[in-house]
Amino acid sequence: MNNFNEEIYREVSFNGSSIKGNVINSDDVEIVGTSKITVEEESHEGVRIILNKDANDNIKEIKFVCSCGETKSVLLDYSEE
């Protein structure tokens, strides 16, 4: 069990208009940040909760995944405008 290690993943963005076929060239990809992904092991009435956090543990996305296969997401933006 990996309770003491949190995996940090790189987030990438790419310009979809320049992609032709099934290949993405490295020139078309930009690293835009990092994420930690946490899966709540306990299912709540058939719904699994997935938390997508930044490197500072701020929640960026809450994803609800139903056992029927349907998924809903809530995106959080902390930027001040």
Q: Which of 70, 76, 74, 9 is nearest to 38 (CA)?
A: 9
Q: What is the pLDDT of residue 55?
A: 75
Question: For the segment 31-63, what is each residue's pLDDT rounded down to a tens digit?
Answer: 777 788 777 656 667 888 888 888 778 888 888
Q: What is the pLDDT of residue 43?
A: 63
Q: Residue holding tokens 């032709």?
A: 20
Give the Cα separation of 45 and 33 in Å (integer): 33
Spatial neighbors of 54 by CB under 8 A, at least 6 apart, are 33, 34, 35, 36, 60
Reported as a pLDDT band with limits 50, 70 and 90, residue 23 is confident
Higher-confidence residue: 4 or 28? 28
Q: Region 3-20: what's the mean pLDDT? A: 67
pTM, to two decimals:
0.55
Give the Cα separation of 69 and 29 in Å (integer): 29
